[in-house]
Amino acid sequence: MFISEALNINEKGHLTIGGVDSVDIANEFGTPVYVMDEDLIRNNCQLYFKSIKKACGENGTALYASKAFSCLYVLKIAAEEGMGLDVVSGGELYTAHKAGFPMDKVYFHGNNKTKDEIELAIKLGVGHFVVDNKYELYNINEISEKYNKVSGVLFRIKPGVDAHTHDFIRTGQIDSKFGFALETGEAEEIISEALKCKNISIKGLHCHIGSQIFEVKPFIHAAEIMIDFIKTISEKFSIEIDELNLGGGFGIQYLDSDDPIGYDKYIGEVMTVVKEKTKEYNLKMPKMILEPGRSLVGSAGITLYKVGCVKDIPNVRKYVSVDGGMADNPRYIMYNAPYTALIADRADDKNTQTVTIAGKCCESGDILIKNADMPDIKVGDTLAVLSTGAYNYSMSSNYNRIPKPPVVMITNGKPHVIVKRETYEDIIRNDVL
Ligand code: LLP
């Protein structure tokens, strides 16, 4: 019945997460509140490593794409589980540094890293830059020289693969702001430029075709294209590529009907193709890197709200308003992203009606779920939206000056705050009179 192993129903009929009563969590920590299950995050990390090991032995690893959810505690979990880390900004990098993340395992992404961000990364000892454009390459070379360092780089390539996902989360096609296109020759050009840079060491190639993908085929297709490109540049420039990073993008379950790919199946099939092609071309097998974000943390999280108002407009729509909304979860307003919700107080009640769950922002599009099948709902009920562990807290805002909710982690059956609730004082902290 549930779309996450972390969830269950107890004898009171309440939804539990990580074995803890979600209604008790709502009462103790207030609403809205994000709640996450540490066991499931750790388990997801371990499943990736298991599948990678099965498919490529020690010659593979996984990085946590921290944009999905970055905070000190979660990065500490990722480090303890042996993950590397994808960061895309000075802020994500700083969080990694403060969490004590091993900097040699950090990969710095992004399509417009500023000189300050590059300098911070070099000073902190970041292991790899994933280069997006030529300006950045020259900046990394220049700043590395200043610090008497040689920086390891991968190049972000657009494999031209069209994965069926929302337009805004599709990145592998030629019309994308990210990376170097193959068709135009710019991907080859940047390799030739990098070879001229004394403080740059070419480590590998990277691609990322999109997010929330449910098919193996586009991943296989991208891998094939990347190996073909490795062959081309190996011959043309007589270089060896040590690392091939195929990005993240694996879909998770938001609805009953979603059917995610098993890690073993996805990783096994992709690696088989990579091995066959490298053998056929007589290339060195690169170290294989995957970069999951959503699939590590997404289904480990839920958000709890209180219902404050039920408005039935006869023959039009029934709105159920909760005490959060687009400020803590902008994914409906941005992508029409679907979610599943339950009444946490009566989690096994049968659905009896169709309602639209709305937020409290001054914005008609502030919807959490449109046309959700739900049981009877009363003002004061606790509503749980499922699979909110990825791209919710990390994309939250203070629109309408709404303080961000806290994040409560369940560790060994005990809830504890890993990110505090913002206060009104936090809201005006940077205002100057
Ligand atoms: N690597 C790179 C270079 C990426 O750009 C991303 C996601 C990932 C890895 C991780 O992808 P994942 O495994 O999480 O799918 N805000 C959107 C998702 C944007 C994803 C951006 N890049 C959403 O809420 O659906």
pLDDT digits (tens, 9 = 90+) for 331-349: 999 999 999 999 999 999 9
* Confidence bin at 230 (pLDDT 50/70/90): very high
Q: Does 419 lie in the same domain as 326?
A: yes
What is the rounded CA–CA span in Å between residue 369 and residue 366? 9
Number of domains in the chain: 2
The parent domain of residue 144 ranges over: 109-292
CB of 293 within 6 A of ligand 1: the answer is yes
Digit-coded pLDDT (tens) for 262-274: 889 999 999 999 9
Question: Helix-strand-coil percent breakdown of the chain, rounded to 5?
Answer: 35, 25, 40
Q: What ligand 1 atom has the least distance to the C-alpha of 395? A: 16
CATH number of the CATH domain containing 339: 2.40.37.10
Q: Is there a single domain that holds both residue 413 and residue 307?
A: yes
CB 260 within 8 A of CB 211: no
The answer to the question of residue 88 being in a domain is: no
Sign of CA dihedral 111, 95, 333, 387: positive
Q: Is 342 in the pocket of ligand 1 (CB under 6 A)?
A: no
Please return the burial class of 368, using the count of CB atoms within 10 Å of its CB with bins 0-12, 13-18 and 19+.
buried
Q: What is the pLDDT of residue 71?
A: 98
Same domain, 302 and 421: yes
Output the pTM of the full model: 0.97
Same domain, 11 and 25: yes
Kindly report the backbone phi and psi dihedral angles of residue 266, in degrees, each rounded to the nearest multiple of 5, phi listed first: -60, -55
Residue that the structure tokens 């297709």 belong to: 221
The CA-atom distances, in angstroms, between 108 and each of 161, 175, 328, 376 are: 23, 22, 26, 48
Checking if the pLDDT of 168 tops 70, the result is no
Q: Residue 160: which pLDDT band, with cuts at 50, 70 and 90?
A: confident
- 156 and 239 fall within a common domain: yes
Whether the per-residue pLDDT at 428 is higher than 80: the answer is: yes
CB 273 within 8 A of CB 234: no
Residue 93, domain member (yes or no): no
The verdict on the CB of residue 158 being under 6 Å from ligand 1 is no
Do 244 and 341 sit in the same domain of this protein? no
| Percent of the chain clearing pLDDT 70 (strictly above) | 97
- Check whether 165 has a pLDDT greater than 80: no
Tokens of 191: 């390799």
Task: Report the CATH number at residue 246.
Answer: 3.20.20.10
Please, which pLDDT band fits residue 171 given cuts at 50, 70 and 90? low
In sequence order, what are the beta bridge partners of 205?
155, 244
Residues 6+ away with beta carbon under 8 Å from 268: 51, 54, 55
CA 210 / ligand 1 centre spacing (Å) = 7
Which pLDDT belongs to residue 80? Answer: 98
- pLDDT, residue 309, reads 97
Q: Which two tokens stand for residue 96?
A: 């990694």
pLDDT above 90: percentage of residues in the chain: 94
Which pLDDT band, with edges at 50, 70 and 90, does 99 fall under?
A: very high
Residue 240 lies in a domain: yes
Per-residue model confidence as pLDDT tens digits over 23-34:
999 999 999 999
Any catalytic annotation for residue 362? yes
Same domain, 175 and 150: yes
> Could you tell me if the CB of 248 is within 6 A of ligand 1?
yes
Q: How confident is the model at residue 169 (pLDDT cuts 50, 70, 90)?
A: low
Which one of 232, 265, 292 terminates a domain?
292
Distance (angstroms) between ligand 1 centre and the Cα of 169 equals 7
